[in-house]
């Protein structure tokens, strides 16, 4: 069982910002439940590079992603950021 912990207050602010986006909130809650029980949380996401090096990301909707970091020593998954892909990565992925 993994402990799920926000890295800072970023996730709380983003959840409030996106509270009207029902599919995003639903997928976020489902993913958190899945993270708690999976053997290796790294298998659920894709390894990131650049600004989020050593972190993993997963698309919760077509345009929104959650970035997380897995700490095996503390048996904890730290939630780093949740936002539109363009805001997270600073570029338009369609180009």
* Amino acid 87: pLDDT: 84
**Which CATH topology does 3-88 take?**
YaeB-like fold (3.30.2310)
Strand (E) or helix (H) holding 10: helix 10-17
Boundaries of every domain in the chain = 3-88
Condensed to tens digits (0 to 9), the pLDDT of residues 25-72 reads 999 999 999 999 999 999 999 999 888 999 999 999 999 999 999 999
pTM of the model: 0.88
Token code pair at residue 66: 């959650």
Long-range contacts of 48-54 (CB under 8 A, 24+ apart): 50/89, 51/89, 51/90, 52/80, 52/81, 52/88
Condensed to tens digits (0 to 9), the pLDDT of residues 78-94 reads 999 999 888 887 765 45
Q: Check if the beta carbon of residue 56 is closer than 8 Å to that of residue 67.
A: yes
* Amino acid 81: pLDDT: 92
* Amino acid 34: pLDDT: 95
């Amino acid at each position: 069982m993994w402990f799920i912990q926000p890295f800072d207050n970023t996730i709380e602010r983003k959840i409030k910002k996106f509270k009207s986006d029902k599919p995003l909130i639903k997928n976020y809650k489902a993913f958190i439940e899945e993270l708690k029980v999976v053997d290796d949380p790294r298998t659920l996401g894709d390894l990131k590079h650049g600004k989020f090096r050593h972190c993993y990301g997963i698309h919760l909707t077509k345009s929104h992603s959650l970035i997380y970091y897995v700490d095996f020593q503390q048996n904890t998954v730290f939630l780093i950021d949740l936002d539109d892909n363009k805001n997270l990565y600073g570029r338009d992925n369609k180009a």
